[in-house]
Structure 1
């Protein structure tokens, strides 16, 4: 199987060498740089100088072998997985570096200066996606988030347990389970217990943690409900009589005056009128009918 992969990769490299082995006639329209900046750096607009300085990691003004390999993510785990073995991987790395140097290294010193890079431009950078050199910079966890999670699991409905069924998802979770398994094996060896016993301890700890989280959430919900019940209800102040509509303020005055009876009779007798209803009583002296002060009538 490995021999078959090695042969297939050798054929791919041969084809790429034929296509990119010299500067003349090279297809400079791969748009690799544009795609790389958008997917790896989330930058859609840039100029060649910015691209150069971004990948000149040691800031020495040149792109050397290591930095060219980094531009293509040659030694990233995703790229290494697509190499049949270590020897094939090294050949792939050498092929990528030599191809880029043949295109851009005008003075053949094994490095690319800023001037040389600007002379050719970012469009001259070829693509090596067929070899698995897709330009990944970050660790596997970050790459999974950037290139898979954002594309396929960016909405609530695509973040359910059932939605994580892509091949990349299964591979990602399997890798996590393998890491956890290795940690448990080391833990069991350190404690002098079996792996099964260590697994049982982890399961008990996880169950206890989940129960505690549930308990805290329920407690928080109860406290929130209590706060709602204890919150004082808003009080409504009576309207200022002076600001009431006259139709409302004096609406019952006539009826009230009839209940009081004539001036000088009943409980009110000859008392000075203090309400609109009292002022409308029959035979009330004229001096009490007109308004003397604001608020009297």
Structure 2
């Protein structure tokens, strides 16, 4: 069925049972949190027990030892479809807000040491209004925000009737059709539709 996807970091993170909410919605209309990192870990990763080094490592996607602006955007889910209607200037301002807190010397990255020092001094990631930080792929988001909450190991295909199930498999079908079309084009020696009309022979 759907593969279970849970991120583990250095064996120090403990799994929680997760939070139940309305059918896996990606709505961002929940009240803002005073502790956004904890909200993120519980809602997006189903993890309760974590520390500052673990949180940093989990969101250092390229394992470089520093967070870039792109990694901060990803962690906050700014590029997730749930935030596609948000103006880019607001997203840029939000990223600057995080960097003002954790990169006070304007190096352009948030290093692990800078992160740990700021957290030890009481600085926390602010809730910037982008929701819990959806940053997984389609399978992960469906699994953790819907399937785990409303289905189980004994779920059959006939049980997958929620709107979220239908939309998930519709997107799967769409991706498969797109892949089939691409493979068909790649097998063609010449793709006629890609030739400008002035260079085509008129028969």
- For residue 116 of structure 1, report the CA deviation from its aligned partner: 3.1
> Does 2:34 correspond to 1:30?
yes
Indicate whether 1:91 and 2:92 are aligned: no
TM-score relative to the length of structure 2: 0.59
Equivalent residue pairs, number: 154
SS at match of 1:68: helix
- Kept in 1: contact 2:77–2:130 (CA 8 A): no
Higher RCO by CA contacts (8 Å cutoff, separation 6 or greater): 2
Q: Following the alignment from structure 2 to structure 1, what is the Cα–Cα distance between the partners of residues 65 and 184? A: 51
Q: 1:28-107, aligned counterparts within 5 Å?
A: 30-75=34-79, 79-84=80-85, 88=87, 90-107=88-105
2:112 to 91, 111, 114: 114
Cα root mean square deviation, aligned? 3.2
Partner residue, 1:131: 130
Matches of 1:116 and 1:37, distance apart in 2? 21
From the two aligned structures, give the one with the greater helix fraction.
1
Tell me if structure 1 keeps the 8 A contact 2:44–2:133: yes
Q: Where does structure 2 lack aligned partners over 5 or more consecutive residues? A: 1-31, 189-203
The 2-side partners of 1:118 and 1:163 are apart by 46
Q: Any gaps of 5 or more consecutive residues in structure 1?
A: 1-26, 192-297
Specify whether residues 164 and 41 from structure 1 end up closer, same or farther in structure 2 by C-alpha distance, changes over 3 A only: same
1:188–1:34 Cα change, 3 Å? same
Task: State the match for 1:146 in structure 2.
Answer: 144
| Contact 1:33–1:125 under 8 Å retained in 2 | yes
TM-score, normalised to structure 1, is 0.43
Q: Deviations over 1:33-89 (max 9, x none)?
A: 1232234444322211222233233444332212212222333xxx2353238xx3x
- CA deviation string 1:180-213 (max 9, x = no partner): 444555678879xxxxxxxxxxxxxxxxxxxxxx
User: 1:33–1:123: 8 Å Cα contact kept in structure 2?
Assistant: no
Distance, in Å, in 1 between the alignment partners of 2:184 and 2:171 is 20
Structure 1 residue matching 2:133: 3-state secondary structure: coil
